Structure 1
Amino acid sequence: MLNLLSQYSQSRVSWFLLLFATLAFEATALYFQHGLGLAPCTLCIYQRMCLLGILLASVIGLLAPKRLIFRVIALLIWLYSAFTGFNLAFQQARLQFAPSLSDSCTLNVDLPTWLPLNEWMPSIFNATGSCAEKAWAFLTIEMSQWMIIIFSCYLAVGIIILFAQCFAPTKRTTWRN
């Protein structure tokens, strides 16, 4: 099984699927913001940035999936982004469902000076909503809880794929690029 996963990770198809899934989540976030008029909060913008990190990881994996160094760098970026996104989603869910007096959410997005996306694209990266607001739910699960599920899945799959890198694929396989 781990041999097969190692082989899959050396295929551009797998990295493209990661790219496609991440683009679908980013497009969904933009639809919620611009199509449904849901104002994103600061934590929402940061979670979107984590999805962009996973998108970057998929592009790096697409560049040279057969080279171990590219796969490992891509996997480490993927895992860091998924872990950070999970923590942000968990923090947002805590603000929504079990707030304490010490919990707060900043009003302005604080991005690095070398990448001020909120200044370059304010319609996408400016936070205008409240982190504690429950604006959308599907199957009685709030958006922050969905993001916990999504980032948990990204994290679990990334850990398994990283572990699979220790196992070389066998010669008798049928998976192709």
Structure 2
Amino acid sequence: MLRTLHTLSTQRRSWLLLAALALVLDGIALFLQHVLHVEPCNECIYIRAGVLGIALAGVMGALAPSYWPMRLLALTAWVGALGWSLSRVVLLLDLERIVAAGGDASCKRFKGFPDWLPLEQWLPNVFEPRAMCGTVSWTFLGGSVTFWIGIALGGMALLAAAVVVAQVWPNKGRV
């Protein structure tokens, strides 16, 4: 299995599939926002940006997947964006629990994006927070949007871990 994962990580289509999967996740978020009117909070926006980072890692990996330094750079970007997104998911799930228990959650942490990349100004319909953190306005099978993106990113984290291990695991017969 590790040999297969290593081989797949050297193929352009695998990296493009990663980028496409991340774009589908962000597309679902935009569908929820603009069609079902589930407005994003600050943490949702950070998660959305992290998922976009995963898509960019996929594009980066697709540029030269057989060249190991580029593959390593793309893997690093993938794991970094994934870690960022998962940390925001954990924080937001905690805020949802606080609000569900009758507490008050604050969204004052959103400082915007860096001056050199003001996404909330360039694309406000995508990156502008419009809801309070911790408020759950939509559920599917009893889980909030945050819960489901956590499931998706958790699965992606397992895959990323396996791909990383496949890069370094000693494998007889592999050049």
TM-score (norm: length of structure 2): 0.90
Give % identity.
32
Worse-matched range after superposition: 94-103 or 70-79: 94-103
8 Å contact kept, 1:23–1:55? yes
Correspondence for 1:166 among 165, 168, 171: 168
Runs of 4+ in 1 over 4 A off after TM superposition: 99-103, 167-171
3-state SS of paired residue (2:66): coil
Equivalent AA in structure 2 for residue 39 of structure 1: E
8 Å contact kept, 1:46–1:88? yes
Correspondence for 2:147 among 145, 152, 160: 145
CA offset at residue 89 of structure 1?
0.7
Structure 1 position 95 matched with structure 2 position 95: yes
Structure 1 position 105 matched with structure 2 position 107: yes
1-structure distance, mates of 2:145, 2:165: 30
Aligned Cα root-mean-square deviation (Å)? 2.0
Equivalent AA in structure 2 for residue 136 of structure 1: W
2-structure distance, mates of 1:107, 1:115: 18
8 Å contact kept, 2:105–2:134? no
Q: 1:77 to 1:102 in 2, by over 3 A?
A: farther
Partner of 1:48: 48
3-state SS of paired residue (1:37): coil
Partner of 2:36: 36
Q: 1:119 to 1:25 in 2, by over 3 A?
A: same
Partner of 1:11: 11
8 Å contact kept, 1:6–1:161? yes
8 Å contact kept, 1:42–1:109? no
Structure 2: which 5+ runs fail to align? none
Equivalent AA in structure 1 for residue 127 of structure 2: F
Provide, for residues 116-169 of structure 1, a one-character-per-residue CA deviation record: whole Å limited to 9, x for no partner: 011111121111111111111111111111122122122221111011012468
Partner of 1:66: 66
Structure 1 position 116 matched with structure 2 position 118: yes
1-structure distance, mates of 2:17, 2:93: 28
8 Å contact kept, 2:79–2:160? yes
Worse-matched range after superposition: 138-147 or 98-107: 98-107
Partner of 2:133: 131
Structure 1: which 5+ runs fail to align? 172-177
8 Å contact kept, 1:15–1:62? yes
8 Å contact kept, 1:109–1:126? no
Q: 1:58 to 1:38 in 2, by over 3 A?
A: same
Aligned length: 171
3-state SS of paired residue (1:27): helix
2-structure distance, mates of 1:96, 1:14: 35
Larger RCO, structure (CA 8 Å, separation 6 or more): 1
Equivalent AA in structure 2 for residue 115 of structure 1: L
